[in-house]
Each structure stands twice: as C-alpha cells, then as structure tokens.
Chains A and B, each alone.
Chain A
C-alpha cells in the first residue's frame, strides 16, 4: 500500500482552546481506499481532529491537504463539495422528513439557493437513492418519516446521506455506538463495502469492531500521535497498553 496515493495529508496540525492544546503538532496521512481507525482515550483529540478536517473547528497552526488542496482556510461547504463527508457522533438526520427526502436533500445537485428551487427529482436522483437505500438496509423504509427509525437505522441513514454525495473521504465518529450486536455486524459489512472505493476514517472504541474493519489504526493521546500501524502492532505497543488498552 505504500505506493498508493495519499488522499489526506495532515502536517504539524495544532489547535488550542484557551491555551489547552486539543490537537498538538499532529501528522497523519491517509491513503486512497484506506480504512483508518482512530482510537484513544477520552480527550485525546479524536473528534477535534475530524472537526479540523471538515472545518467545524479552525486550526491554530499546521496544514490539512486533501488531494494536494489546502483546506485550512476553506469554508465548510466547499470542503464537502471537494469530496469530504462527515458523520456526527449522535445521529444527525432530518427527523421531519422521510427517509427518501433525507437522501434526496443530500444529493449533490442543486446546492445553491436557486439550484434548490429548480431541483427536480429525476430518474438519476431516484436511482442513486435506491442504490444507497439498499446499501444501508433501508430500501423498505423510503416513505417512512425518519423519526420513526430505530437508533441504529438513523446511524445508517446518516451514513447513507453522506454516500449520496459519493465522497472520496468519509469520516465517521463512533458509527456503532448504541447499536445492537446484529446492527454492529451489518455496519461492519457496510463499512467494508463502502471503503472499497474511497478512504474512510472511523473513530471507534469497540476493539472487536476495530479489529474487524481497520486497515490501519492510529492511536491518539493528549492531542499527539502515540502509535500507528496494524491492529496487532498497535495492540502490542507497551505505551498504547499503558494509556489506553489497560493491562
């Protein structure tokens, strides 16, 4: 994989909140079609890292390059349009719309005010909606209000909303939190399938789950990278055991 193209390059990235360095001089490189899992104890800066990449938080120093484009000064919606998708920790869907509408609204056409006024639900949109709905196990629920979905289904729906945009880099913050065993199974399958043609960054605490999906694992601690490599390599690292995995 070393010859693969680097999609995301984070160099010397720092952000401080009132002097507290949530992310401290961090370097991170994600390759094409790689599924990277970021783990680490509470307050390690995992969610902040995703916030920095998608633009929710502004970096204090350092650079974030996506396909050799500098992102740090770009508004959030521009980053999305360049191909970065972000799923939030708690399911963030539009409860008042149907599953179909949730997906439709996320379709990457008609993203300007006037574009959205004259947007038509044509065959291409419906085809994509059906394709994604099938992938996220919700093809039977298209006409249901999103608020009626179970917690796990809401998580899938949000992933589906991101897939509608066909992002090159997908970032998922604890996608299986609060899911049942069978839902976790299905989510692992889903992630494996969608990472075949895009890069994915996942934050997760469930080590069984991480083992199943991760290509490589990055361990963060106090805003810095502690270790990086395969799951086995990381699990054997004494420093990782010390601060995170426990004895």
Chain B
C-alpha cells in the first residue's frame, strides 16, 4: 500500500504550521471567496452542500482512517435534522397560526392524520436546550449502542457496512410509515422561526451560512488535532493491523465505538444545520441512497483528507445540480461513473490528486535546482541488503508451522 498519510508525509520535519495551510485555504474559500462571488440563492445551496460535508469528514475519520465503512450515515444526519425540525415545527404550530385545524396547536400533518393531541415523544422538543442536546445525544447514543453491539462481537468490514444499510432502511421506513408522528414521506415542512427569529429572511440565511461554515471548519480542525494524537495513529494502525493493536494491549472495540460515535455526532450537527438552512427535513436524506451518496462525496474528496472531503462534497453536489438541471435522466449514471472512475484512477480522491501534482512539481523544482548547482549530488545510498540465508542442512522436515 502506498497510501500517503500525514504522518509519513510530514516525517521530513516540515514545520507543524504547514499542516494547517489547507484548512486556512479552505476557510478563505468558504468564508470569503464563495460569499463574495455567489448570489444568495447559490450561496444557500453551498450552505446545504456544506452540511453534507459534516458527514463526509466523519467518514474520513471513521472509514478513511479507522477502516470502518458505514453505509448508513444518513441515519445520524437524519436524526440530527429531525430533532431540529421538530423544535422548529412546534414553534411554527402555535394555536394562533393553526386555528383552522380541528386540533389547533399541533403540527399540521398530525391534524391531517386525525391525531388530536401532541404525542409524548414531541413534548420535550418545545425546549430549545433539550433540542440542542438531543441533536447531539440521540444520534450519539444510537451510534454508541450500534457500535458496542457490532464491534464487541467483532463484526466488521462488509458485514458492518450491510448492517448500517439495514439501519438506514429501517429508519426511513419507520419515518415514512408513522406519518402522523413524523410527517411521513413529505417530511417536516413549513418551518419558520428559531426561538422567534425568522430563518427565512436573507439576513438569516447569511447568518446561518456563516454559522454552518464556522462549525464545519471547527470540526475539520478538531479532526486534524485528533489525528495528530496517539489516538489518530492507533486508528491508522487499527485499519492495517487490527490484531497487532489488540495484542498490544488495546481494547480495539472501544476505539471503534468512539470514532463511529464521533462520526455520527458530526453527521447529526450537519443534519441540524441542513434543516435550519433549507427549511425542511424529509426521509429522502435518511435512507440508503443518500447514505451511499455521502460515501461518494468522501471518496471523491479523498478518504484520507478532512479538507478534501469538504471539497468533494462541494464538487459532487455542484456537479449534481448542474447536470440534473441539464440532463436529468443522465445524472445517476454520471454519479455512478464518477464513483467508479475515482476508485479506479484516483483511490485517494481529489486530495490524492493534489498530492501527486504537488509531488511532481517539487520533483521538477528539485531537478531544476539540482542542474543549476552540483551535478550528480551524492544520493543517499540504499541500505545494504544481505543475501538470504542458504537453507541449513539441519533445517528439518516441514517448513512453516
């Protein structure tokens, strides 16, 4: 495997601040360049795409580094998004604006489904504090439980991926089936205010865009710090030699549970920001297809690059909106083709491509410099290799045990 990782790439002794340049460039791009270049409609779209990037950076940590492929991150994105939507919906359903319903004061879709009282599950979502906690804790707890159940039993690889698919299918079927409680296939719509603050105004859209971008950048920074710790190195170690890590005294399952839970919480924050910026939440962001799309964003951006995953989310979604406007029937084929092309040609995605371009540039620079100064400067000699031992006469019947 010739995967370039930050740890080996930085072994040459580059100063530590260099590792932060890509993040600074990303911050400049999404905090300054995009808001200055795009109109509010397009910027709001970017904001939406950046909420997917939360899922993508979670996948970089969990899949790229930890080797745990989850095809069900939509579950956590959806749980975060729904928790936010429930709060907003309750606020939008005050008795005054729902007085034409047969039961005023409850969300409209409940009234359409002959529900006459607010379900107990919805009650606590009157509180913003509870909602904010629920956005993080509900998906976190669910990921924790799934993680403990799977990883303690050493379910991994493809089997784990299939299980996460099953959870994504279950949650979306549950939401669609329980129309009276969840808004069904339409989702939760007509969201208006957050604690009295209208989220539909131009001003609010700008504020939410920057809040979202700030949270995303903070999450990327958190991820970078995490990967620099011993925990980060253990993740890489775990991906390549799980047995070695286990027999070095680590409870491997605990590490997997932690990173899977962290990825879930990040996804949930993205989901909540999605609801705020787009103004609704529906099961179409929960099920199998969106979950797989999110893996594609990560793969295109580069599954070993947190910053790359953000660009990947932007690039694929811009492509999606452009192509689905121009060639609506072809889009899905293009998306599939893109995924195959990335996996076959650039296994490390955009970030890997950037790395190899930079490597080629540095090589060219070095060669140019080398020609100008001493020709044939001494190269570091390769370590001497002994010839393998001749089989000893006493080496007995039957080689390896």
Task: With both chains docked as a complex, state the minimum distance between the C-beta of A148 and any C-beta of chain B, in angstroms.
Answer: 8
Q: Which residues of A contact B252 (CB under 8 A)?
A: 77
Q: Which residues of B contact A56 (CB under 8 A)?
A: 243, 247
Supply 15 further A-B pairs (C-beta < 8 A) apart from A97-B8, A111-B249, A161-B248.
Answer: A56-B247, A77-B247, A89-B400, A96-B1, A96-B8, A104-B230, A105-B230, A116-B229, A117-B226, A117-B231, A119-B229, A158-B244, A177-B400, A205-B396, A244-B396
Q: Are B234 and A86 in contact (CB under 8 A)?
A: no
One digit per residue, 1 when the CB lies within 8 angstroms of any chain B CB and 0 when it does not, for chain A 156-191 equals: 001001100100000001100111111110000000
Sampled A-B contacts (23; CB under 8 Å): A42-B400, A54-B247, A88-B243, A94-B237, A98-B8, A110-B230, A113-B254, A116-B229, A116-B230, A117-B231, A118-B229, A119-B230, A143-B11, A143-B13, A144-B11, A173-B401, A182-B386, A205-B396, A205-B398, A206-B392, A207-B395, A208-B394, A244-B396
Contact flag A104-B233 (CB < 8 Å), given A76-B246, A94-B240? yes
B116 contacts partner chain A, Cβ-Cβ < 8 Å: no
Give the docked Cα–Cα distance between A150 and B384 (Å): 10
Task: With both chains docked as a complex, state the minimum distance between the C-beta of A169 and any C-beta of chain B, in angstroms.
Answer: 13
Contact flag A246-B396 (CB < 8 Å), given A81-B249, A113-B255, A180-B389? yes
Q: Are B244 and A92 in contact (CB under 8 A)?
A: yes
Chain B contact residues, majority secondary structure: loop
A93 contacts partner chain B, Cβ-Cβ < 8 Å: yes
Q: Are B246 and A77 in contact (CB under 8 A)?
A: yes
Spell out B's residues near A (CB within 8 Å).
Answer: 1, 3, 5, 7-8, 11, 13, 226, 229-231, 233-234, 236-237, 240-241, 243-244, 246-252, 254-255, 258, 383, 385-390, 392, 394-401
Q: Which residues of A contact B11 (CB under 8 A)?
A: 98, 143-145
Give the docked Cα–Cα distance between A56 and B252 (Å): 13
Task: With both chains docked as a complex, state the minimum distance between the C-beta of B305 and any C-beta of chain A, in angstroms.
Answer: 15
Task: With both chains docked as a complex, state the minimum distance between the C-beta of B302 and any C-beta of chain A, in angstroms.
Answer: 15
Q: Which of A30-85 contact B (CB under 8 A)?
A: 39-44, 46-47, 54, 56, 75-77, 80-81, 85
Q: Which residues of A contact B5 (CB under 8 A)?
A: 96
Q: Which of B241, B250, B390, B394 contacts A111 (CB 8 A)?
A: B250
Q: Which of B8, B237, B396, B397 contacts A105 (CB 8 A)?
A: B237
Give the docked Cα–Cα distance between A43 and B248 (Å): 26
Q: Are B229 and A75 in contact (CB under 8 A)?
A: no
Q: Are A203 and B401 in contact (CB under 8 A)?
A: yes
Q: Are B401 and A80 in contact (CB under 8 A)?
A: no
Contact flag A106-B231 (CB < 8 Å), given A93-B241, A150-B385, A180-B389? no
Which residue, B11, B250, B401, has most C-beta atoms of chain A within 10 A? B401
Q: Which residues of A contact B250 (CB under 8 A)?
A: 77, 111
Q: Which residues of A contact B234 (CB under 8 A)?
A: 105, 116
Q: Which residues of A contact B246 (CB under 8 A)?
A: 76-77
Q: Which residues of A contact B399 (CB under 8 A)?
A: 42, 205
Q: Are B231 and A113 in contact (CB under 8 A)?
A: yes
Q: Which residue of B lies closest to A142 (CB)?
A: B11
Q: Are A105 and B400 in contact (CB under 8 A)?
A: no
Q: Which of A93, A143, A180, A208 contacts B244 (CB 8 A)?
A: A93
Q: Which residues of B contact A98 (CB under 8 A)?
A: 7-8, 11
Q: Which of B243, B387, B390 contacts A92 (CB 8 A)?
A: B243
Q: Are B400 and A179 in contact (CB under 8 A)?
A: no
Contact flag A101-B247 (CB < 8 Å), given A181-B389, A206-B392, A245-B396? no
Q: Are A178 and B388 in contact (CB under 8 A)?
A: yes
Task: With both chains docked as a complex, state the minimum distance between the C-beta of A101 and any C-beta of chain B, in angstroms.
Answer: 6
A112 contacts partner chain B, Cβ-Cβ < 8 Å: yes
Give the docked Cα–Cα distance between A110 and B11 (Å): 23
Give the docked Cα–Cα distance between A25 and B248 (Å): 28
Give the docked Cα–Cα distance between A119 and B226 (Å): 11
Q: Are B249 and A244 in contact (CB under 8 A)?
A: no
Q: Which residues of A contact B244 (CB under 8 A)?
A: 88, 92-94, 158, 161
Task: With both chains docked as a complex, state the minimum distance between the C-beta of B396 and any C-beta of chain A, in angstroms.
Answer: 6
Which residue, B236, B249, B258, has most C-beta atoms of chain A within 10 A? B249
Give the docked Cα–Cα distance between A29 and B226 (Å): 44
Give the docked Cα–Cα distance between A118 and B225 (Å): 11
Q: Are B401 and A44 in contact (CB under 8 A)?
A: yes
Q: Are B249 and A80 in contact (CB under 8 A)?
A: yes
